[in-house]
Amino acid sequence: MIEAGAKRIAMSDMKCSFCKGTGKDPFGVLSWLSTCCVCNGKGVVDVPSPYKVCPHCAGTGAVKTLTCTACMGKGYVSLPATPVIKCPECRGSGDASSIPSLPCIKCHGRGFILAG
């Protein structure tokens, strides 16, 4: 993910949205005692700044009982260094128009696309 020459970006330790900081699988898919697949049981996730709350899962990290594919369960999506505009396809909701549980194809569920 890190490109050569990319600016060093600050990482924020955020409480894991998927497990709400418990470090445990919130839905007990394998076992209620298994570790959270998003934070590996740490209860916190690294989110590169700047970031915004993920629109597709509304910051919960989960869509139904699945890890949100837009934010990979973190509940936050990182903004690129370049300007972005609200996605015209989903109007920023991050949801596919026909099936809201799927991420918008145009913005990959992030609710924004690169400007220009």
N-term to C-term CA, the chain: 23
User: Can you name the residues that pair with 63 across neighbouring β-strands?
Assistant: 66
Q: Which is nearer to Zn ion, 6 or 85 (CB)?
A: 85
In whole angstroms, what is the distance from residue 93 CA to residue 103 CA? 9
* Nearest residue to 36 (alpha-carbon basis) of 48, 25, 21, 52: 25
- 113 phi and psi, to 5 degrees? -130, 165
| C-beta closer to Zn ion: residue 34 or 49 | 34
**Identity (one letter) of the amino acid at 78?**
S
Query: 9 vs 91, which CB is nearer to Zn ion?
Result: 91
- Tell me which stretch binds Zn ion (CB under 5 A): 6-14, 67-75, 78-86: 67-75
Nearest to Zn ion of 1, 37 (CB atom): 37
Specify the DSSP class assigned to residue 24. Answer: B
CB of 116 to Zn ion, least distance (A): 16
Length of the chain in residues, anyone?
A: 116
**Interface with Zn ion in residues 84-113 (CB under 5 A):** 87, 89-90, 104, 106-107
Does position 62 interact with Zn ion (CB under 5 A)? The reply is no
**Would you tell me which residues interact with Zn ion (CB under 5 A)?**
16, 18-19, 36, 38-39, 54, 56-57, 68, 70-71, 87, 89-90, 104, 106-107
